Amino acid sequence: MLTSLLLSLALATPARAASGAAPAGQLLEPSSPDATAASLTPSEGRVPPVRRPLDYTAWTLRPGELRVGLVDLDMGLLPRLTVSTQPLLDVLRVGNGTLKLGVVDNGHGTGLALEGGMYRMRAGDFHLDHARVGLRGSTHLGHLALHAGGDLSHLQTSGSPDLQALSPLVTQLFDPASLATAQAELLANPVALDSQVSSLTVRGAVELPLSAHHSLVAQGAMVVARQAQTAGDMKVVVASLPDSLQANQLLVSSTNPGEVDSRWASIGWRASWRNLQLRVGIGTSSTPLAWILPSTELSWRMGGREPRPRG
């Protein structure tokens, strides 16, 4: 009896692999945060899980699961709750953190999540605070996985900047003499760098599975509304800064939001295994190279509670 069962298990796995790629609804097992073997019956055995994507979807990490990427560090804190930070920003003295809460994951490939993030920087009397709240939705339409969402963000700055209080990684990018001259002018003529910029961004993604581990992903986002208020001192500050800081573009973005075209789009290849996650592609954006960061992923995911097979 035991020998017959083992033989059946050995024959079932290659037979399943030979049958070709499963539909998108089977590749992404919605009852858990992974596209796994959770849908396999006991007679079909158990295979390594394929992780579901995070960045542009409503999915979250499993409790105790960790993702270490080029930019982000994410952890599944509780069921359907993921916390994230960007270590590079921390090194640059920009405090930051993001929470993602899965509100719906109905077990049929449909999910809904809330997301919020905070960013804070201090440089002397200068304060920068950025808050963001967003909504993410994911579902399946035949073999396609569809993802859509939106973000409402608010950026506020105040005070006069102390350039010497910036991270050394930032100051080393510019000529020390130019920075010293700009800082001396700011000290001699203190100004209030006060501004408020609010924006609404919509985004979407379409994923076409090619196999259990590979898929094509098309993404895009654009700012559909923006409102800005800036102080007159903003122009004084920009005029006193070195040209190498390229602060004129920031001023234009803040004072003339109607003239700024903020959008990007990309198409790429995504690969997912038990631990390694990879996504690369090509794209275009109104701001040069702005499409690269949201279209690229190289991360290692580990830990977390394994989903149970059904049966």
264-277 tens-digit pLDDT: 999 999 999 999 99
* Alpha carbons within 13 A on the beta-carbon side of 27: 25
Distance CA 80, CA 59 (A): 8
Closest by Cα among 277, 305, 294, 278 to 77? 305
pLDDT at 93: 86
Look up the pTM and report it.
Answer: 0.75
36 pLDDT exceeds 60?
no
Domain ranges for the chain? 54-205+220-265
Give the Cα-Cα-Cα angle 201, 153, 299 (nearest 5 degrees). 75
pLDDT at 25: 34
131 pLDDT exceeds 50?
yes
pLDDT at 239: 55
Closest by Cα among 89, 88, 92 to 170? 92
pLDDT at 176: 74
Distance CA 236, CA 77 (A): 46
- How high does pLDDT run on average in the chain? 77
Give the Cα-Cα-Cα angle 135, 138, 142 (nearest 5 degrees). 160
pLDDT at 306: 61
pLDDT at 162: 80
Mean pLDDT of 215-233: 88
pLDDT at 238: 55
Q: How many CB atoms lie within 10 A of CB 276?
A: 12
Distance CA 252, CA 277 (A): 38
Looking at the chain, the whole-number percentage of residues with pLDDT higher than 70 is 71
Burial 127-163 (b: 16+ CB within 10 A, else e): bbebebebebbbbbeeeebbbbbbbebebebebbbeb
More confident residue, 180 or 173: 180
Q: How many CB atoms lie within 10 A of CB 263?
A: 17
Strands (E) in the chain, as ranges, are: 34-35, 50-51, 65-69, 73-78, 81-85, 94-105, 111-123, 126-141, 144-158, 195-209, 214-230, 263-272, 276-285, 297-303
Mean pLDDT of 162-179: 74
Which tens digits make up the pLDDT trace of 42-100?
A: 333 344 467 899 999 999 999 999 999 998 999 999 999 999 999 988 888 889 999 99
Mean pLDDT of 16-28: 39
More confident residue, 182 or 202: 202
